[in-house]
Structure 1
Amino acid sequence: MSGAIPTSTSVTESAVINAPLSHVWHFIKLQDFNKFWSALDKAEYSKGTSEETDIVKWQFKDGTVIEVKQEEHSSLNHYITYSVITANPALSYTSVVSTIRCYAVTSGENENSTFVQWTGNFSSDADAGVIEDAKFKRREALADLAKAAKKM
């Protein structure tokens, strides 16, 4: 019997950001994540690619470098889906596909705010540590997004 702890291979984090959808959505472009996410040092189109190929290199402040590929993007429905295609150092799992969805809050005490949901679906070889790390990174990034959107 393996000592591995059974775990879900998906993570979902969400937040209500006290800023209009237009302010929040402005940041949701792979090449602009460094404009809000404090863990990122820089984000740029990957060398040898163009805007049309939608591959962006994220360089994190801890030295990690990953290339992400935009899989889907909708300015009408306000979501973006991306996958990790390379990582240095290498990931401990095979793959992950993430989606960020933004919704305008149109009534109630949070009217004129934005509900943001950030999911990650990992390959079955991702362990509990990977999922926990993803959860906390998304929480930190959503808090950073809230700060950036409020400044607009």
Structure 2
Amino acid sequence: MSIPTSTSVVESAVIKAPLSHVWHHIKLQDFSKFWSAISKSEYVKGANEETDVVKWSFKDGTVLEVKQEEHSTINHYITYSVISSQPELSYSSVVSTVRLYPVTSGEAEGSTFVEWTGNFSSDADAGVIQDAKFKRREALADLAKVAAKK
């Protein structure tokens, strides 16, 4: 029997670097430059020119092809979906968004608030959601390390 679970995940962090330094890293083809779990990220050749498809090769052997669904340099977010996976995913689909906000006052003024969401199809189980949560936390910590070096 499966355990009922939310099919969305939201992780966030305050990164001690200005938004411009953090935003610089938020390109699908550049995730391997900050996310230590990814060994290589590269454009997929032959994808149609109106869509950006990037292949992420993870150190654990997983290979995902992700498609950029939406990108805003004005509102500082990127939305992507997973279009293929080796090994195959145990669920039908996921759409994720990484969104950045400048912190304009208070103790963290000059920092960047980063929110990374994932909305999964209803066939994703609790293990998938937990895994996504921890992967996002790890990636946000990695992003903080890289962005703070500037």
Establish whether TM, by shorter chain, passes 0.5: yes
CA distance in 1 between partners of 2:65 and 2:3 (Å): 29
Matches within 5 A, 1:1-152: 3-49=1-47, 52-152=50-150
CA distance in 2 between partners of 1:96 and 1:112 (Å): 32
Secondary structure at 1:63 match in 2: coil
Instruction: Determine if contact 1:67/1:86 at 8 Å carries over to the other structure.
Output: yes
Instruction: Determine if contact 1:20/1:114 at 8 Å carries over to the other structure.
Output: yes
Look up the equivalent residue of 1:95 and give its one-letter code.
Answer: S
How many residues are paired up?
A: 150
CA distance in 1 between partners of 2:27 and 2:133 (Å): 20
Instruction: Determine if contact 1:45/1:51 at 8 Å carries over to the other structure.
Output: no
* Coordinate RMSD, CA, aligned: 0.9
CA distance in 1 between partners of 2:59 and 2:114 (Å): 24
Distance change (3 Å), C-alpha of 1:107 and 1:82: same
CA distance in 2 between partners of 1:52 and 1:147 (Å): 33
CA distance in 2 between partners of 1:103 and 1:148 (Å): 18
Look up the equivalent residue of 2:2 and give its one-letter code.
Answer: A
Secondary structure at 2:106 match in 1: coil
Provide the TM-score with structure 1 as the length reference: 0.96
CA distance in 2 between partners of 1:49 and 1:94 (Å): 21
CA distance in 1 between partners of 2:108 and 2:34 (Å): 22
Q: CA deviation at 1:51?
A: 6.2
CA distance in 2 between partners of 1:49 and 1:146 (Å): 31
> 1:1-58 deviations in whole A, cap 9, x for unaligned?
xx11000000000000000000000000000000100000010001223664200000
Secondary structure at 1:136 match in 2: helix
Secondary structure at 1:12 match in 2: strand
Q: Percent identity?
A: 79
In structure 2, runs of 5+ residues without a counterpart are none
